[in-house]
């Protein structure tokens, strides 16, 4: 199987023997697993440390665990959740205990003596590495108490004395011995680990290399994260052992700077540990929302959806699409997208018989969080006419994709007698079979603000009626405005919902 090329198929769900479940791969992540597995195996003879860079919400834990499940039949594998174990002050023992426990479970022959050997060698290394113990060893070897030497060494008379020279010579000699012992301990430890892995392979029928997956390192305490990297680099740099360290690398750089200072070049530092970095492509917001809300039951949608405009007709996919459209327009990160979705759900849970404009509400929540001044201006009603202008919207919402299209599903109402001619004229130019209309967000937002701020429905209706008397065509946003008028939700209600939902993070 040395020349085997892996080609994983993750298109169906997977349930492991320990009942751990994995959903079908919706983001084509198996392509990454195939590519990386085949590459890493080709590089395994000298060992390899790969940084899998993936920001929050991109599914790196799913990816690591499903990758492990795909190769564990053929290769020894270990999965370490670093964040769950950073309560320990010893990342060395975290790695050692994970390797011994998990590889022992993968071996048909539980070689307890080999495991005891690893524990003994690991303790030997830790003993020689600990600074306080090192001081004690030097004192034992040289008869010199380092702390007393330092305390008494401030005067010139002492530092020039024969006693100091003798003590210094003994300390240096002891330190050399201690350093040699450390190097010897490291080499013995590596030899023992390799022997144990070889024994596991021999009795399990598995082959080189061994894959060790380290997850959630960027969430650990900065000191623990840095020490974990040092451990991997210096003590597990061995043939046929591959480390895949999954991080949000930007966050990990912050952890490094927390230890070494803001001016420290964290990117160069991390380059010392990782031979290569592979970045998982971020999943689309629509897919993220669908995964995040996959738990929604039919009972919940039956309760929520009738309260939402545009009309959903119990279509969960369209609900996700509307939320994703707003998230795309405001260029939300996946974490911000999750927060928006949860805030919307919090409002839906608390609604009575009211019906809400989902798009307006979502926009106001985002603006409240990201554009405070604009939100205050909206709520206070100052310079309302300026806020509605297209150039003002663009200027006050920088970097927002106001030119994006939004797919609106709406059945035009004919319950406005004064607007009968408008609706009739409009209906002759549209296909009502799907009742979906693609609208420009900037125009939709202007319509929503017009009704939210001006609070003058008759003026809005008269403007549309006058445009028709002059033979002008009805705009889609005019029809939308009519439907929003029918809902008649006051600005104060939106303000209450937004400020309640945004009161928690």
Residue 310 structural domain: 285-501
The answer on 327 and 272 residing in a single domain is no
Query: What CA–CA distance (Å, rounded) separates 242 from 78?
Result: 10
Cα distance between residue 166 and residue 381, in whole Å: 84
* CATH code where residue 233 lies: 3.40.50.300
DSSP letter string over 87-119?
A: TSS-HHHHHHHHHHHHHHHH-SS--HHHHHHHH
Residue 236 DSSP label = S
**Which tokens hold the place of 288?**
């993220």
Tell me whether residue 305 is in a domain. yes
Answer yes or no: is 467 within a domain. yes
**What pLDDT score does 436 carry?**
75
pLDDT given at position 321: 95
Residue whose token pair is 């964290």:
266
**Spatial distance between the Cα atoms of 76 and 74, rounded to a whole number of angstroms:** 7
- Per the structure block, which two tokens stand in for 368? 């409240």
Please report where in the chains the tokens 């949860």 appear, as a residue. Answer: 342
- Angle at CA 19, nearest 5°, toward 14 and 21? 35
What pLDDT, on a 0 to 100 scale, did the predictor assign at position 388?
67
Q: Which residue has the tokens 């700077």?
A: 257
Asked if the structure places residue 87 within a domain, the reply is yes
- What is the per-residue pLDDT for 14? 92
Is 316 part of a structural domain of the chain?
Answer: yes
The confidence score (pLDDT) of residue 476 equals 72
- Helices 358-370 and 372-380: angle between axes, nearest 10 degrees: 120
357 shares a domain with 265: no
Q: Give which of 272, 266, 402, 227 is closest to 326, Cα–Cα.
A: 402
Please check whether residues 436 and 413 belong to one and the same domain.
yes
Q: What is the pLDDT of residue 125?
A: 47
Looking at the domain assignment, is residue 184 inside a domain?
no
Each residue's pLDDT tens digit, 382-410: 665 677 676 777 778 888 998 898 988 87
In a domain, 119, yes or no: no
Do 250 and 315 reside in the same domain of the chain?
no
Sign (positive or negative) of CA dihedral 501, 391, 444, 415: positive
Token pair belonging to 293: 């809300």
Q: What is the pairing mode between strands 276-279 and 21-22?
A: unpaired
Distance of CA 67 to the CA centre of its chain: 18
433 & 371 share domain: yes
Out of 228, 252, 279, a domain closes at 279
Same domain, 305 and 263: no
Average pLDDT by stretches of 10, the chain with 505 residues:
78 88 88 95 94 86 94 94 84 86 74 54 46 44 50 50 50 51 72 84 88 93 91 89 93 91 91 92 89 90 92 90 96 93 94 89 94 86 66 80 87 47 41 67 85 63 57 64 80 90 80
Say if residue 225 is in the same domain as residue 344: no
Q: What global pTM score does this model have?
A: 0.72
CB 359 within 8 A of CB 406: yes
Assess contact for 231 and 95: CB atoms under 8 A: yes
Please tell me the total count of domains within the chain. 2
Residue 411 has φ and ψ, to the nearest 5°, of: -100, 115
Radius of gyration of the chain (CA): 32
| Predicted pLDDT of residue 81 | 94
pLDDT of residue 109: 58
- Specify whether the CB–CB gap between 379 and 495 falls below 8 A: yes
b/e burial code for range 103-125 (CB count within 10 A of at least 16 → b): bbebbeeebeebbebbeebbebb
Query: 64 to each of 30, 33, 247, how far by Cα in Å?
Result: 11, 9, 11
Dump pLDDT digits (tens) for 337-388.
999 999 999 999 998 888 899 999 999 999 999 998 889 888 887 665 677 6
Q: What SS3 state is found at 166?
A: helix
CB 50 within 8 A of CB 243: yes
Residue that terminates a domain, selected from 279, 302, 319: 279
Say if residue 353 is in the same domain as residue 401. Answer: yes
pLDDT of residue 274: 93
Q: What's the confidence (pLDDT) of residue 141?
A: 45
pLDDT of residue 281: 85
Residue closest to 354 by CA, chosen among 450, 503, 493 = 493
**Do 267 and 299 have their domain in common?**
no
Residue 424 CB coordination number (10 Å): 12
Domain-embedded: residue 127: no
- Do 396 and 484 fall into the same domain? yes
Among 279, 294, 315, identify where a domain stops: 279
Same domain, 269 and 249: yes
Q: Note whether 467 and 377 are same-domain residues.
A: yes
């Amino acid at each position: 199987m040395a020349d085997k090329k892996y080609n994983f198929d993750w298109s169906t769900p997977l349930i492991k023997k320990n009942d751990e479940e994995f959903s079908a791969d919706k983001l084509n992540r198996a392509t990454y697993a195939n590519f990386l597995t085949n590459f890493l195996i080709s590089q395994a003879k000298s060992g390899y440390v790969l940084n899998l860079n993936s920001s929050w919400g991109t599914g790196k834990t799913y990816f690591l665990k499903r990758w492990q499940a795909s190769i564990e039949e053929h290769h020894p594998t270990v999965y370490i959740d670093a964040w769950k174990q950073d309560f320990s002050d010893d990342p060395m023992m975290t790695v050692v205990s994970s390797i011994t426990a998990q590889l022992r479970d993968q071996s048909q022959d539980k070689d307890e003596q080999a495991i005891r050997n690893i524990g003994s060698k690991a303790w030997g290394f830790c003993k020689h590495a600990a600074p306080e113990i090192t001081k004690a060893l030097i004192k034992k070897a040289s008869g010199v108490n380092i702390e007393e030497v330092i305390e008494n060494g401030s005067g010139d008379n002492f530092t020039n004395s024969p006693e100091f020279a003798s003590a210094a010579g003994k300390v240096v000699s002891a330190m050399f011995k201690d350093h040699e012992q450390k190097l010897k301990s490291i080499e013995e430890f590596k030899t023992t680990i390799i022997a144990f892995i070889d024994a596991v392979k021999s009795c399990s029928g598995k082959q080189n290399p061994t894959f060790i997956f380290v997850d959630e390192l960027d969430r650990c305490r900065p000191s623990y994260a840095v020490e974990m990297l040092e451990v991997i680099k210096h003590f597990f740099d061995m043939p046929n052992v591959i480390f895949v360290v999954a991080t949000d690398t930007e966050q990990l750089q912050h952890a490094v700077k927390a230890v070494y200072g803001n001016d420290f070049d964290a990117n160069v530092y991390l380059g010392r540990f990782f031979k290569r970095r592979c970045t998982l492509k971020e999943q689309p917001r629509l897919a993220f929302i669908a995964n995040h809300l996959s738990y929604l039951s039919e009972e919940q949608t039956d309760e929520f959806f009738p309260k939402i405009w545009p009309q959903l007709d119990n279509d969960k996919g369209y609900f996700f699409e509307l939320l994703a459209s707003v998230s795309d327009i405001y260029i939300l990160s996946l974490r911000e997208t999750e927060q928006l979705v949860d805030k919307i759900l919090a409002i839906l849970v608390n609604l009575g018989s009211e019906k809400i404009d989902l798009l307006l509400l979502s926009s106001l929540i985002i603006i409240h969080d990201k554009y405070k001044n604009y939100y205050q201006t909206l709520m206070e009603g100052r310079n309302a006419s300026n806020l509605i202008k297209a150039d003002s919207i663009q200027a006050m919402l920088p970097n927002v994709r106001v030119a994006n299209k939004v797919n609106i599903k709406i059945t035009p109402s004919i319950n406005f007698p004064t607007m009968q001619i408008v609706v009739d004229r409009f209906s002759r130019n549209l296909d009502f079979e799907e009742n979906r209309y693609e609208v420009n967000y900037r125009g939709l937002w202007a319509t929503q603000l017009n009704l939210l701020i001006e609070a003058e429905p008759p003026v809005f209706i008269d403007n549309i009626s006058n445009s028709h008397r002059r033979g002008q065509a009805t705009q889609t946003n005019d029809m939308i405005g009519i439907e929003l008028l029918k809902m008649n939700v006051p600005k104060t209600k939106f303000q209450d919902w937004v400020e309640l939902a945004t009161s928690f993070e």
